[in-house]
Structure 1
Amino acid sequence: MTTYSGTREFEGATFVRASFKGATLRFSDVSGVTMRGVDVDGLDLDSHDLFFGSLLVNGVDVVPLVDAELNRQFPGRELQKAQTPEGLREGWAAVQSAWQETVTDTPLELVDAHVEDEWSLAQTLRHLILATDAWLRGGILQVPQPFHEIGQIFTGAREMGFDMSVFRADPPTYEEVLEVRAERQRQVTDFLSTVTPEMLGEERDNPWGGGDWHPSVGDCVRVILEEEWAHLRYIRRDLARLS
């Protein structure tokens, strides 16, 4: 099977009576792609950025439909967009309760298992540690070096020039992951317990740097909530396949 990586040779191309059956696209840009008269039976599309644009299927923008269905499947998910301290606290409590259920119900033999190139449960929890470090400790609290050494960095970070020496090379035990994860959860809970509407409106720097976006404290909290719900959906999807 041929792999195309880092290529732009297909931008603006036209494919007629071509077969992409069974093909896999990962971390690729398919924005603006037009498909007409195509067979899409079994097409599996998963995009974290889906809710920042549109996706037309037979002329219907299905993004609001997908968003509403995910809110139905994950009660409390809609609060990831909350604008008030009370709403954000309620949203945080909802997603933590959902995560506790998943962690408790996952057999130990599956915590390091994964589907294809996806993260395992242990790796996912490590990534959520990283997300909390970036957006709470780095973004909101402005800690100079906010990252715990067991955090799971996103794919492609090394190629982007991120200092990987921050992170430990040897994988932690699952018990250590749970311990650090619980500590980071408490930090978010403690912060939200006293946050005010005025503080939510304060401007911060983007913890990942670059660009002109200066998120508010509320924006940073909402990113944490989005990360929590998105990765909960991913890991429940994968655990269902592994089971």
Structure 2
Amino acid sequence: MAAFSQSDDLQGAQFVDVNLRGARFVRSDLSGAVMRGVDVAGADIDAPWLLEGGNVLRVNGVDVVPFVEAELNRRFPGRAEKRAGDPDGLRAAWAALERTWSATLERAAAMPAGTVEISVDGEWSFAQTLRHLVMATDTWLGRAILEIEQPYHPIGQPHAEYETDGYDLAVFSAAVPSYAEVLEARAGRVAMVRDFLAAVTPADLSLARKNPWGPEHQVTVLSCLHTILEEEWEHHRYAVRDLQAIEARSHL
């Protein structure tokens, strides 16, 4: 099977009468790609940034982005509040998110032992997803908003870009934590966000902070909180997707 990596520049390439059946594109830039007369039956696209910045995705001439957004909001009550712009709205948005995750944690706990460690199609396991959300909170609340010099919990799960862009991986433990340890760390970070939102004021939301991935750029406290909410909802969607896949396999 042919494999292409970051070192392969395929910008502007043309694929004519090519068989891409079963091909997998991971962390690839397909923006502006044009497909004509293609068979996409059974294709599965996951593009978390598609819904940001006025992006469009046309299928047979129809921009499907608004339909995708509306359907995700229907499936996940409370998700529509992730862009709340005032303290009360943000507190309500976080409370809804906590309720959603609580139900999902209960669902995972009711599944067979070891479920939380299962990886589906090479994606993070449920436990790894929770560990990544610990890191996301540390990045956008601890590092960006609170300006803590070293905010990272050692069990945090770095994302692929963090690992390849030269950041210090030494802050994270190489040992695999128990699920109980993951739950404890995750609960602590959830409480940190809740406590911060409990006291945040409109003036606080407009304060400028350094972008943790690009310190030369400034972001607002509000935009950092929006990023936390975005991370939470997207990774919850991934977690639910994979729990459903694990359940489906168990019934085969």
SS of the residue aligned with 1:41? coil
SS of the residue aligned with 1:46? coil
Whether the 8 Å CA contact 2:210–2:216 is kept in 1: the answer is: no
CA shift, 1:113, in A, is 0.6
SS of the residue aligned with 1:11? coil
* 2:221 partner amino acid: V
Whether the 8 Å CA contact 2:155–2:172 is kept in 1: the answer is: yes
Taking the aligned partners of 1:14 and 1:189, their CA distance within structure 2 comes to 50
Q: 1:210 to 1:33 in 2, by over 3 A?
A: farther
Match of residue 99 from structure 2: 97
Whether the 8 Å CA contact 2:137–2:189 is kept in 1: the answer is: yes
SS of the residue aligned with 1:15? coil
Aligned mate of 1:232, from 227, 232, 236: 236
Taking the aligned partners of 1:62 and 1:133, their CA distance within structure 2 comes to 34
Whether the 8 Å CA contact 1:130–1:147 is kept in 2: the answer is: yes
Match of residue 147 from structure 1: 152
SS of the residue aligned with 1:204? strand
- CA root-mean-square deviation: 1.1
Match of residue 245 from structure 2: 241
CA shift, 1:9, in A, is 3.5
Aligned mate of 2:143, from 105, 113, 138: 138
Gapped regions of structure 2 (runs ≥ 5): 248-252
Taking the aligned partners of 1:156 and 1:193, their CA distance within structure 2 comes to 32
CA shift, 1:59, in A, is 1.4
* 2:81 partner amino acid: L
Match of residue 156 from structure 1: 161
* % identity of equivalent residues: 48
SS of the residue aligned with 1:136? helix
Q: What TM-score comes out, normalization by structure 2 length?
A: 0.93
| CA deviations over 1:54-109 (Å, ceiling 9, x no partner) | 11111111111101110000011011111011111111111111111111111232
Taking the aligned partners of 1:216 and 1:119, their CA distance within structure 2 comes to 30
The structure carrying a bigger strand percent of its residues is 2
Q: Write out aligned runs for 1:1-243 (5 A).
A: 1-52=1-52, 53-106=55-108, 107=111, 108-210=113-215, 212=217, 214-243=218-247
* 2:103 partner amino acid: E
| CA deviations over 1:6-53 (Å, ceiling 9, x no partner) | 144321111111111110000111111000111110110001111122
* 1:94 partner amino acid: A
Q: 1:211 to 1:115 in 2, by over 3 A?
A: farther
Q: What TM-score comes out, normalization by structure 1 length?
A: 0.97
Whether the 8 Å CA contact 1:111–1:121 is kept in 2: the answer is: yes
Whether the 8 Å CA contact 1:204–1:217 is kept in 2: the answer is: yes
| CA deviations over 1:116-155 (Å, ceiling 9, x no partner) | 2100110000000000000111111100111111000001
Taking the aligned partners of 1:109 and 1:163, their CA distance within structure 2 comes to 30
Gapped regions of structure 1 (runs ≥ 5): none
Taking the aligned partners of 2:10 and 2:210, their CA distance within structure 1 comes to 36
Whether the 8 Å CA contact 1:201–1:217 is kept in 2: the answer is: yes
SS of the residue aligned with 1:91? helix
SS of the residue aligned with 1:150? coil
Taking the aligned partners of 2:230 and 2:49, their CA distance within structure 1 comes to 11
